[in-house]
Structure 1
């Protein structure tokens, strides 16, 4: 009985502690664990090492400053919709706006430097889809996962290139930054879907194929995903 009481107290303490952990951190941790499980810890460790090396080459890039500046940037550009937002914008002086714009431009330029060092972008800041696909192929991933990611690169690159110049070249951002942002947001979602599909193939598809050998893996996966979205699923 005492052991049960201790466990209950421990769970209550853990619940209390979790309230102090920010949701973005939890999401970041969950994504990291998902990537380690999907691609392999050694693969992800090597990739993170390349990122750190690229950041070190592009000295001055500060992730904390990036987060703060982007928050200010969105407070400036998302004008309208509420009095609070308008008052936030009006609290900036002309000099503050100029200084913030300069810092954002510098941050984006350094981010562009990191992408070039990783060969994810070319000299003109355009997404280098070919080099990204070569990098994926070098990871030694399972064939199906590799194919899903390769297809995602093409799809996300097509999506990013569909954006008009008027949407992607707005100051204080550098040329092509809007396309870069669109591409990597798209690819982030595609990676999650590819890992979910891998889990489906490894964990659920074999038993389904025992019941029906002619079952189509891709169609079945999409059906399950759509059923979750519709709130109608037996899982």
Structure 2
């Protein structure tokens, strides 16, 4: 028993028990590689550069935003009778929350996701059935070769679903956002941005899945589904389901998350 305990302690203190690359950084790498595989590394690099440049500008001079109880949704007397917290601590927390939203809003304006008035820029991903690639990518940066933008089906799908994110945010039940002035002011914006992030990542993943299945000779029938990409995503779920426990174990070892 002592030897087992000593071995476990040794493993925990060795490189085996350490994650030199944090889960957060690993997730960022996965998302960067997904973006690169979908749109090309040149576009992914430019996208990251634009985000960091906007972040630097906004950190130095963020957009103006009122710092008031009416926006925070809670009073300076939120907590009482607890000696380690006073009105200054509450005000500092509230201001930190507004500062984060303030900087986020500023960055989104620089990237064109929000208008100067702070409204969702629905024109950025305006969708029509007549949409053409040349209108979306005049410099032909990601509409050539094996990139996702080279497929009109993919581009129209992406823009259509992002436009639906705007519809989702605009029609989000108002009652659920009336829990606080903060949610009332920023709730729909949060719904929209979470939606478009999910749409982009899901769409790129489906694009890669579809092409991977094709390379391995798997034929996809999209009958009854929106398109070949949704069909590919469904096909993979079926393939996962029918795999044996032994196959799933091997797959999890090579492609699953790292264990601590």
TM-score, L = length of structure 2: 0.60
Residue 58 of structure 2 corresponds to which residue in structure 1?
58
Calculate the aligned-residue CA RMSD, in Å: 3.8
1:95-110 pair list within 5 angstroms? 95-110=88-103
- How far has the Cα of 1:172 moved from its partner? 4.7
How far apart in 2 are the matches of 1:90 and 1:181? Answer: 35
- How far has the Cα of 1:128 moved from its partner? 1.0
Q: Which has the higher helix share?
A: 1
Q: Which has the larger radius of gyration?
A: 2
Change (3 A) 1:55 1:214: closer
Give 5+ residue unaligned stretches, structure 1: 1-12, 63-72, 77-85
Residue 48 of structure 1 corresponds to which residue in structure 2?
48
Residue 154 of structure 2 corresponds to which residue in structure 1?
145
Change (3 A) 1:162 1:213: closer
- How far has the Cα of 1:41 moved from its partner? 0.8
Change (3 A) 1:172 1:223: closer
1:196-235 pair list within 5 angstroms? 196-205=205-214, 207-209=217-219, 217-218=228-229, 220-227=231-238, 232-234=241-243
Does the CA-based 8 Å contact 1:168-1:178 persist in structure 2?
yes
Structure with higher RCO (Cα < 8 A, 6+ apart): 2
Does the CA-based 8 Å contact 1:61-1:107 persist in structure 2?
no
1:1-235 pair list within 5 angstroms? 15-18=16-19, 20-60=20-60, 92-132=85-125, 137-138=136-137, 139-140=142-143, 141-143=149-151, 144-165=153-174, 167-168=176-177, 170-172=180-182, 175=185, 177-205=186-214, 207-209=217-219, 217-218=228-229, 220-227=231-238, 232-234=241-243
How far apart in 2 are the matches of 1:58 and 1:208? Answer: 48
How far apart in 2 are the matches of 1:25 and 1:172? Answer: 30
Moved more, 215-224 or 45-54: 215-224
Deviation string 1:29-68 (CA, Å, 9 cap, x unpaired) is 2112221222211001112222223223323389xxxxxx
How far apart in 1 are the matches of 2:125 and 2:193? Answer: 11
- How far has the Cα of 1:133 moved from its partner? 5.2
How far apart in 1 are the matches of 2:83 and 2:204? Answer: 44
Does the CA-based 8 Å contact 1:116-1:123 persist in structure 2?
yes
Give 5+ residue unaligned stretches, structure 2: 1-13, 63-71, 128-134, 144-148, 248-260
Change (3 A) 1:218 1:55: closer
Does the CA-based 8 Å contact 1:156-1:187 persist in structure 2?
yes
Change (3 A) 1:90 1:148: farther
Deviation string 1:74-129 (CA, Å, 9 cap, x unpaired) is xx9xxxxxxxxx9xx99643321112112211221221111112110123422212
Does the CA-based 8 Å contact 2:54-2:107 persist in structure 1?
yes
Does the CA-based 8 Å contact 2:108-2:114 persist in structure 1?
yes
- How many equivalent residue pairs? 195
Change (3 A) 1:196 1:219: closer
